[in-house]
Homo-oligomer: A and B are copies of this chain.
Amino acid sequence: MPPGSLVHIGKKHTEKPVFSWFSYNAANVSQQNPVTVDELLALPRISGEIVWLDMIGVNHVDIIETIGQSFNLHPLVMEDICNTEQRPKFEEFSGYTFFTLKRSEYTHLPSYVSLTQVSIVFSPDFILTFREEASPIFDTIRKRLLSGASRARTKKSDFLVYLIIDSIVDSYFDIVEKISDEIETIEEKMIIDTDGRFVSMFQRLKRNLTYLLKALYPLREALSKLEKRDNPLLEIQTIPYYRDIYDHTVHLIESIENQRDILSGSMDVYLSSLNNRMNSIMKVLTIIATVFIPLSFFASVYGMNFRYFPELQWRYGYLYFWILIIVILIIMMFHFKKKKWM
């Protein structure tokens, strides 16, 4: 394939693309749900209103190309939208800004984190969001936009973009909490475990945390860039809000790194307790064997068939034998106790 030709990279999530079209300003708001891309492009763009186009299904590369051309997007931006293995990043182009990040979902049993991509292109006039997969993530924003309760109505497009990014970043907090609960559950269960089956559980959780960090490190970087540069598309009043998302991301990263440390620590305790259990079992068993092997030797001795064997003829030979055994036992026990082996 020549570079520059659009390819979808990643899992195919949707059969048909889903569009949602908003046009709003402080006074008016209207929502359309076009079914085909032709219907979509036929929608009028009213001057003075901000357009928010949300599309689900980034595997439809031809549709993304059509939309991209209609909004004058750079070929590389379209490529990045279709490539769901893209790292979160932020890039400025003349006239618009491109921002891509990951939404995360978590399933329990087995513990599994999935990341899907959300790409955002915004200018003062329009906001385009491209999502890999259908999810109710934007429903609250939409409802409040329509009802007029949202502060976004009276603000520039960058505020709605803030709301969008914020709703995505917030979804990570749930996951961190769920994983935290799972770690606690494992920590409780592992105390009574003896067969080492939690090692792979620890590893799976650790891998999930690393997976989340892989999405969050570049996000932090992108948000830091977004906040620092003199982005002409960002209003001075919106900057504290973006800084707030940045702080949340940093907090998330620290929490996850902390959980990873806790996991490592727990696993060390776990492995060492497994080892201690094993050792104490082996010790007891070895002590039993060690005690009886010498005793067996003496029993064997008196089972020998020598013709001239004085002890065997003694009146209390058998009694003396047991006395010998018990004396040996007592000496051994005493010695083991003294050395704290028992």
**Cα of A266 to Cα of B206 in the assembled complex, Å:** 11
**Cα of A3 to Cα of B241 in the assembled complex, Å:** 10
Residue in B162, B283, B297 whose beta carbon sits within 8 Å of that of A296 in the complex: B297
A261 at the binding interface (Cβ < 8 Å): yes
A272 at the binding interface (Cβ < 8 Å): yes
Closest B-chain residue to A267, C-beta based?
A: B268
Q: Mark A211-225, 1 if CB is under 8 A from B, else 0.
A: 000100010000000
**Cα of A341 to Cα of B288 in the assembled complex, Å:** 15
A265 at the binding interface (Cβ < 8 Å): yes
**Cα of A70 to Cα of B300 in the assembled complex, Å:** 95
- Say whether B279 contacts A278, CB under 8 Å: yes
A14 at the binding interface (Cβ < 8 Å): no
A144 at the binding interface (Cβ < 8 Å): yes
Which of A85, A86, A166, A305 has the largest count of B CB atoms less than 10 A from its CB? A305
Give min CB distance, A309 to chain B, whole Å.
Answer: 5
Count of A interface residues, CB-CB < 8 Å:
95
Is chain A's interface secondary structure helix, strand, loop, or mixed overall? helix
Q: Mark A271-309, 1 if CB is under 8 A from B, else 0.
A: 111111011111101111110111111011111111111
Give min CB distance, A208 to chain B, whole Å.
Answer: 11
A207 at the binding interface (Cβ < 8 Å): yes
Residue in B254, B258, B261, B296 whose beta carbon sits within 8 Å of that of A300 in the complex: B296
Which B residues lie within 8 Å of A315 (CB)?
308
Which of A91, A140, A296, A314 has the largest count of B CB atoms less than 10 A from its CB? A296
- Say whether B306 contacts A304, CB under 8 Å: no
Q: Mark A300-328, 1 if CB is under 8 A from B, else 0.
A: 11111111111111111110010000000
A95 at the binding interface (Cβ < 8 Å): no
Q: Which 7 residue pairs across A and B have the least CB separation, nearest first? A: A299-B300, A196-B276, A302-B304, A303-B303, A306-B318, A285-B290, A306-B317
